[in-house]
Structure 1
Amino acid sequence: MSTPGTSSPRQAAFDVMVDGVREPWWIRTRRLVVLSAIIVLTILGALDVITTVIGRLRPSSPISAPGIADGALDAVAEGVAVDYLSWDAEDRARREQVLRRWAVPGRDVDGWDGQGRQSADSATVLARARQDLGNAVVTVRVRVVPYTVDGTSGPPDQAPPQSPDHDPGPSSPDTEPGVPAAQPAPQTLPGWRAHPARWLIVAVPLALHEGRLLLAASPALVGDPGTDAPELLPAGNATSDDRFSRDTRSSVRTFFEALATGDLDFVRAPRARIASLQGAAVLVEVRQWRGVQAPPGKSPEQRMGVASVVWRTVENAGQLTCTYRLRLHRQDDRWLLAAIGIDTGTSP
């Protein structure tokens, strides 16, 4: 038997001497556990501090979704929108040169008729609709100043035609077409009369081409907050339906007339979300309408097609040809507009 204050031979093997005093093994073990915990917490704290510092030093990424960064999309789309909505009949070559720099090589993206004068500025992105990692449609609001011929100063070399109902007299913002802006009309140029600024909204289709973000097709005038979807037609080469195209051509024209004026209640399909141009443009003609056959297995009450439309901008400052992709819905023997998007540069 061991006396009090002494250890058995087996315990003595685990005890140690500290300052001449024998220390039990369990005290030593507790001390090692506490020391190990302190070391671990110190290391974890240091790693947390390092991670925080690195996170603050590293610039935040503008990418909110896989693919092209939002900032890159916005920068290109805003530049395209300003250049696309600016033109001058006296210097057509300048616009052609500028748009070629924005566009995919070999792609014709100029829908302007070459008449009139208009300047644009103050572009702001309203929405983005991504198709895939390299394609997107960006909706941009732009402030424009339209010009008309000033008869008192003598017409410019290429004067835009005047519409029969054109009234060059002053008007209040309540009666002006389109959405008025507060910017006053700039100083009138010789041969031209400037009008108060308006807001226009344009959808810009962009694509990543050989490492550059470029304009894939002509932009198109749309309503706020933009088109319903960037792509509405089935993938691949859809087959045209000539009979369907003939039967629905008048309905399609009615759709675009309502899109311009805002009278969409009688042409819009139930639950369709379609915004009007709010009088920012007047329909000149539906230049081309091509309906396509319904894909196998799809309801014949849902049809699609592509329309090429000519708009006359406010104050008759010029005309733009825009291409749209439509989805139609038949209800009670009437075709209604279910969705509208823009051409994105891929052939249906």
Structure 2
Amino acid sequence: MVDAVREPWWTRARRLVVVGAVVVLTVLGAVDVTVTVLAFLRPSTSPPASGIADEVLDGVAEGVAVDYLSWDARDRERRGQVLRRWAVPDREVDGWDGQGRQSADGTAVLGRTRRGVDQAVVTVRVRVVPYAPDEQSGSQNPSTQPPAEESDSSSRADEPGVPAAQPTSADAPGWRALPARWLVLAVPLARYDDHVLLTAPPALVGDPGITLPEPVPAVEAVNDDRFTRDTRQAVQSFFEALATGELDFVRAPRARITSLRNAAVLVELRQWRGVQSQPDAPPGQRAGVASVVWRIAENAGQLTCTYRVSLHRQEDRWLLAGIDIDTGKTP
């Protein structure tokens, strides 16, 4: 019998190394798959990179939207107290004129736009029921009556739960309910002392559709008085078209702007402040800040909203290139 040829020691060593590597990779692969499956099954509790979870922003925005679009001329102080709870301290966020009556009760978040690490604008669709003075009742117009006698602050503080601005009675004397409708509200929020609070008054906007429009940069430049005078009429036309939907004649090419669909009527362009162009701005691009007053339904009330407006000059006329809400200064 002839002895088998023995393998060199380095051949056996190489075989052992290969076998060991296969075993290690198999084990690591199983561990990696297990970790992946467990991570998928276990919900993540870590916040996004901004530090504020989407569901937190959405929840706050929906609460703000309901309170902001609810009011009663007979109980003005209650709305003010409620909105102060939502807002950054010492920040005025109430754009209501104190007249009329409206109730909001349903919300749906349409989208959110992050503005830096701890700021965002959340767009919310809100179902509202506006009221008009009931002329057939023969009673005095409730909007012209003085507010009801206010109770002391201690009784308000003793209310169970968290107070809301919604009118207490759906069937109030002197008012008749109008058909319910949907409004879209943009709500600017930011982190402040471990809370998410309102940084500026919300503003009525058009339905963003599938994609949100690009935000208009904050305007912090020097006022341009001549540009302000020359463009005021054009800017007023922009907001009239924003209300009615006739945007094709005033909207710049490729601008993504949607109308309010007659959900509100423009009462006045209260203020328009055009600013000097930035040194690096493209030719024909200008911007400014506009404050407008909207009337909701018939006499249900009025809201003052502030917007950042971007203009584009095409030939001899200015067109609306972008519109965004004013978010206020970072707290």
Q: TM-score, normalised by structure 1?
A: 0.79
Q: Are the counterparts in 2 of residues 144 and 197 from structure 1 also a CA contact under 8 Å?
A: yes
- Given the alignment of the two structures, is residue 318 of structure 1 paired with residue 301 of structure 2, yes or no? yes
Match of 1:21 in 2: none
1:40-51 matched pairs, under 5 angstroms: 40=24, 43-44=27-28, 46-48=30-32, 50-51=34-35
The correspondence for 1:128, drawn from 103, 109, 112, is 112
2:215 is paired with a residue whose SS is coil
The correspondence for 1:333, drawn from 309, 316, 320, is 316
1:223-279 deviation per Cα after TM superposition (whole angstroms, max 9, x unaligned): 011773333335xx3100111111111111111111100111111112211101000
1:138–1:156 Cα change, 3 Å: farther
Q: Are the counterparts in 2 of residues 119 and 145 from structure 1 also a CA contact under 8 Å?
A: yes
Q: Are the counterparts in 2 of residues 230 and 341 from structure 1 also a CA contact under 8 Å?
A: yes
Match of 2:216 in 1: 231
Unaligned runs of 5+ in 1: 15-23, 162-185
RMSD: 2.9
Match of 1:118 in 2: 102
Pairwise CA distance, 1:6: 7.6
Q: Aligned partners of 2:266 and 2:35: how far apart in 1?
A: 59
Q: Aligned partners of 1:86 and 1:55: how far apart in 2?
A: 43
Match of 1:165 in 2: none
Pairwise CA distance, 1:51: 1.1
> Match of 1:271, as an amino acid?
R
Q: Aligned partners of 1:311 and 1:27: how far apart in 2?
A: 87
1:29–1:83 Cα change, 3 Å: same
1:257 is paired with a residue whose SS is helix
Q: Which moved more, 1:329-338 or 1:275-284?
A: 329-338
- Given the alignment of the two structures, is residue 196 of structure 1 paired with residue 183 of structure 2, yes or no? no
Report how many aligned residue pairs link the two structures: 305
The correspondence for 1:92, drawn from 76, 80, 94, is 76
Pairwise CA distance, 1:119: 0.6
1:319 is paired with a residue whose SS is strand
> Match of 1:81, as an amino acid?
A
1:119 is paired with a residue whose SS is strand
1:6–1:70 Cα change, 3 Å: closer
Q: Which structure has the bigger radius of gyration?
A: 1
1:130–1:6 Cα change, 3 Å: closer
- Given the alignment of the two structures, is residue 260 of structure 1 paired with residue 238 of structure 2, yes or no? no
Pairwise CA distance, 1:157: 7.4
Pairwise CA distance, 1:308: 0.5
Match of 1:74 in 2: 58
> Match of 1:281, as an amino acid?
A
1:5–1:213 Cα change, 3 Å: same
The correspondence for 1:274, drawn from 247, 257, 264, is 257
Q: Are the counterparts in 2 of residues 289 and 306 from structure 1 also a CA contact under 8 Å?
A: yes
1:231–1:104 Cα change, 3 Å: farther
Pairwise CA distance, 1:44: 2.6
1:134-168 deviation per Cα after TM superposition (whole angstroms, max 9, x unaligned): 1111111000000011133354674269xxxxxxx
Q: Which moved more, 1:319-328 or 1:50-59?
A: 50-59
